[in-house]
Amino acid sequence: MSQKQEKSKLKNIIKECLCMKRGFVTKIPRHKNVIFTMTGGIDSSVGAEMVIKKWGCVIYPFYLKRGATAEKWEMEAVTKIVKYLKNKYPKNIKDVFMAESPVPPQEIKKNLSIKRIVSKGHPLRNPIIYNIAVQYGTALNDKGITLSTVLLGSVYSDYFPGSRPIDLLIDTLHVCVNLEEWGWQIMSPFFQSGLLAKKKFIKKIDLIRWGIRNNFPLYLTRTCTRKDELSCGQCEECKERLETFKTLGVNDLIRYKL
């Protein structure tokens, strides 16, 4: 069996488990409360407006202070974007909730090899962030707020494991089994067909194009992973951003060091 076939088989098994327990794999949360894990980047920022406009969601934005190098600038970006969206859609987005939990803990982070971090990212970073977002969701449930969806801004070009469609299905199953609450789902709106007409899956270029058409303040987003205020223009994330803007033939209005 090829790797692709193996992955598809595994995906089907997980889908079957979810269907058996709750009758569906994932459900579009139209007009529902959702948690959106924000990072300050283009994907989760534009994604938040998309799900408000297209699905009528009411967003509880969530940011995890996980000890990222660019944390200060990410937080600033998330705060500004939530403010922008609150002005535009006062009924569809709440104040951002920020929690602190280093991922991975400092004591572990300092012992990880650069080779691993460069090729695969921090181990289990994404599922840990999503699980903490679910914990926030359970606390909201306990306050009487009905909610069982965690959204995040993953696109297909994300190259680290941890936020691909199969990862999100496994996380969904993991959360449901461990909570014994079968309504939970962890999903990326960009993997759901129909969010944008004629697009089965949404890519970063589609998000930037949509953002420009909808006057989204892309200049408020933070993509660079380094610690300085000005974006470096050299890290993989900056390079991808610059490349995508260039392909579209539009100017990226954030300031770069270069």
Q: Which residue from 80, 232, 240, 256 is in contact with Zn ion, where contact means CB under 5 A?
A: 232
Q: CB under 5 A: which stretch of 60-68, 72-80, 153-161, 235-243 binds Zn ion?
A: 235-243
Q: Which is nearer to Zn ion, 134 or 238 (CB)?
A: 238
Classify residue 200 as exposed, middle or buried by CB count within 10 Å of its CB (0-12, 13-18, 19+): exposed
Q: Which residue from 102, 183, 235, 240 is in contact with Zn ion, where contact means CB under 5 A?
A: 235
Total count of residues recorded for the chain: 258
Q: Does 256 bind Zn ion (CB under 5 A)?
A: no
CA distances from 150 to 13, 118, 167, 174 (A): 22, 27, 14, 14
Smallest separation, CB 235 to Zn ion (Å): 3
- Dihedral through CA 108, CA 45, CA 83, CA 55, nearest 10? -120
Smallest separation, CB 44 to Zn ion (Å): 17
Q: For 191-200, which contacts have Cβ atoms below 8 Å and span 24 or more sequence positions?
A: 191/154, 191/156, 191/165, 192/26, 192/28, 195/50, 195/51, 195/54, 195/55, 196/50, 196/54
Smallest separation, CB 65 to Zn ion (Å): 20
Q: Which is nearer to Zn ion, 28 or 232 (CB)?
A: 232
Q: Are 29 and 57 in contact, with CB atoms under 8 Å apart?
A: yes
Binding mask 68-87 for Zn ion (x = CB under 5 A): --------------------
- Name residue 12's amino acid: N
Binding mask 186-225 for Zn ion (x = CB under 5 A): --------------------------------------x-
Smallest separation, CB 231 to Zn ion (Å): 5
Smallest separation, CB 182 to Zn ion (Å): 41
Q: What are phi and psi of 36, to 5 degrees?
A: -120, 120
- Using CB under 5 A as the criterion, which residues of the chain lie in contact with Zn ion when the complex forms? 224, 231-232, 235, 238
